[in-house]
Structure 1
Amino acid sequence: MTATKRPTSSTDAGSAAASLAAGTMASATQWQLVAGFLVVYIVWGSTYLAIHWGVESIPPFGMGAVRFLFAGSILYVWCRAHGAEKPTASQWKASAVIGTLLLFVGNGAVSWASQRVPSGLTSVLVATVPLWLVLCELWQGKRPDLLKVLGVLIGLAGVALLVMPTGAATATVDPLGAVVLACGSLSWTIGSLYSRTARQSASPALAIAMQMLVGGSLLLTLSLALGEWTPELHVTARSAASLLYLIVFGSLIGFSTYMWLLKVASPAAVGTYAYVNPAVAVMLGVLLAGERVPARAVAAMTVILGGVAMVSIAGGGARRMVTAMWRARR
């Protein structure tokens, strides 16, 4: 959809938000699009550091449970109050599957692995989702073109460079943390594939809220089963602030902006966050957390993101992205 050139107002913003909740199309000005992309690029890129700081004193699964239950409850009530229809049992079932794969397994893996892997490198390993997507398509019997296969091989070679020791040197990334992140990314990919055909709520925001409630409930169950919440637990101010940031900015503002962008811009253009988030995460990790990025890790990240970009280009993503961004300027 091309951007319109009418001035904005608080009424316009409220109408756009309500249309997102109800599942209708919205329009946007050029400045709104720029602001939306900056939110998805910077806010989502910063969540990796927020998770890293959060798990310093908050149990990983407990933190995810609090984050998604709070954000999901707020978003669910807001959507229903702004016209979203009451979800059916089949829609809850679909959201349960997606919430389990994306948030319980996928995001839970990120939270747990953040105890062992620097935030910047975590974001790079999570960015391998497009590679898993191609592998899943192969499993389904689809025959991707040669460029996609080459992109996957290059990306996986980058992952190997990142996690495998060479000679007397140790691995750049904790191997167990990397394996958990890989499993989480695979789960996220499967959930994303399922979501393409799942019968979800007509309101994208309500569907996300339902997924958050399911994922948060499962994370809470796991957290309680593992005994994460003990009387000796002491939550630091930095961890508490990080959790609040994840609830408000990472989940509510970030997800809502993402879904709004899908309404007013090309999915290919919106998908560019996968390339920008790792750069933002690495930069913030170095500047704010004092994380070191060895030369070998930089080389591995370059190889991984190069493979991911090649997969996207093979699918025509680059051409659609440029077209969408050009239209957004008009």
Structure 2
Amino acid sequence: MEVNRKEFYIGLLLAVSSSIFIGASFILKKKGLLRLASTGSTRAGHGGYAYLKEWLWWAGLVSMGVGEAANFAAYAFAPATLVTPLGALSVLVSAVLSSYFLNERLNIHGKIGCLLCIIGSTVMVIHAPREEEVSSLSAMAEKLKDPGFIVYAVSVVGSSLVLMFAVAPRYGQKNVLVYILICSVIGSLSVSCVKGLGIGIKELFSGIAVLKEPLFWVLIICLVICITIQISYLNKALDIFNTSLVTPIYYVFFTTSVMACSAILFKEWLRMTTDGALGTVSGFLTILIGIFLLHAFKDITFTLDSMPLFLKKSNQGAVPNHDLTTDESKLRRDMNSNGGGKPWLL
């Protein structure tokens, strides 16, 4: 029992560390992209790749790599129902750090939306059924040949190509969902590749000659392509939109895409209980509400400090500026401005 408890705390520490590194990686990448923008280099949002010469961007990439490695290791010590929901902490870490280091603000609607996204994702993960065990690369190959997964993969590739070449050039710099959708759906395929490669590596250490298997190398090539696309379009999103907006939406869509892909590939839905189905649906609806609050009201300046003024206006109608106190006049000016201001805290 003591050994199990020790392993549990190791897994917990790894999961929390993973969220910290991943959340910090968004800030480092954004700082690097902002530095490049100030020098006049072609921005990532306009197709530039000058960020490859920026050390802050590479620091962010290394931070994300360390976080993903810690997250992978956490599954070896702690149950998935603990590790996966803790990934939502990266959203909070990124949001808090962006308020200090990027001077980005998030109104009360955005904060509530961020919280709802995390709650909804956590509920979905908790109620999701366990995936079917796959112990060999040959068994994984049979899973990949399933007609349902083939249809899903073709749909993902087709929709991603449409988004990349038809939608992104016209709407990518106006709508945050375009680039994030590309990263998320492609990311679901990259996770499948990672699972297959993990099985192959375990067999390799067991003495099985998996290097002679074509599937092993196909998975590596597909993983490289998927990760390259994810990095490119995530940089475009970070370069154009606020980190406090990109991070939670990316987490929600990525998590949902991965769970959908895993359900199709491993057929977990065949073993879902009524409670699990209701929990998944309620979690998904919560996510939709959170995304709506994040996206629809992102340009409205509204904080808890301004609530008394809003209540006063709703009860008494419009109040002339000359009837307001000095503090209320300053608050009204702050509410009508779109600029910076003091950083927000969750």
TM-score range, shorter chain: 0.3 to 0.5
TM-score of the two chains, using structure 2 as the length reference: 0.35
Q: Which one has a bigger Cα radius of gyration?
A: 2
